[in-house]
Amino acid sequence: MQISDLPALNATLNGLAAIFLTAGYVLIKRGRADLHKRCMLAALMTSAVFLTSYLIYHFNTGSRPFPGQGAIRVVYLTILFTHVVLAAAILPLALITAARGLKGRYALHVRIARWTLPIWLYVSVTGVVIYLMLYQMY
């Protein structure tokens, strides 16, 4: 694997995190707390590997400007801005949510998970969208 392969890996990891998050949500709604826990920990680990890969890539290459012009540039920059802001928030939210669940503090876990899940899903899905727009459209 080369540095140039990391954006595709990062998009794949974001997609996998979104799948684990969705599966975990469905499982807890079905009363399968044991499998919910496994999926959510898998999402956390997948996101940790993503973050490591993302940092390695950007430390080695810097940023890549979006080459599109006009309305698509506005769309891209809007998605990118919201993604970056929420990505900064998701790390502490995900860690606090996981810690509360692992400690059995379920009432507090559920209270924060109601915020963490949609934000984490948004960040994961928009990560894939950003990759497609930045590396595949042009």
CA distance 25 to 37: 10
What pLDDT, on the 0 to 100 scale, is given for residue 138?
A: 80
CA distance 103 to 12: 30
What pLDDT, on the 0 to 100 scale, is given for residue 135?
A: 95
Placement of tokens 């930045």 in the chain = 134
Topology classification of domain 3-136: Four Helix Bundle (Hemerythrin (Met), subunit A) (1.20.120)
Structure tokens given for 9 = 């890996």
- Domain boundaries along the sequence of the chain: 3-136
**Element holding 33 (H helix, E strand):** helix 33-61
The amino acid that residue 8 corresponds to is A
What pLDDT, on the 0 to 100 scale, is given for residue 1?
A: 86
Q: Provide the 10 A C-beta neighbour count for residue 32.
A: 15
Placement of tokens 């694997």 in the chain = 1
> Over its length of 138 residues, how does the chain's per-residue pLDDT go in tens digits?
899 999 999 999 999 999 999 999 999 999 999 999 999 999 999 999 999 999 999 999 999 999 999 999 999 999 999 999 999 999 999 999 999 999 999 999 999 999 999 999 999 999 999 999 999 998
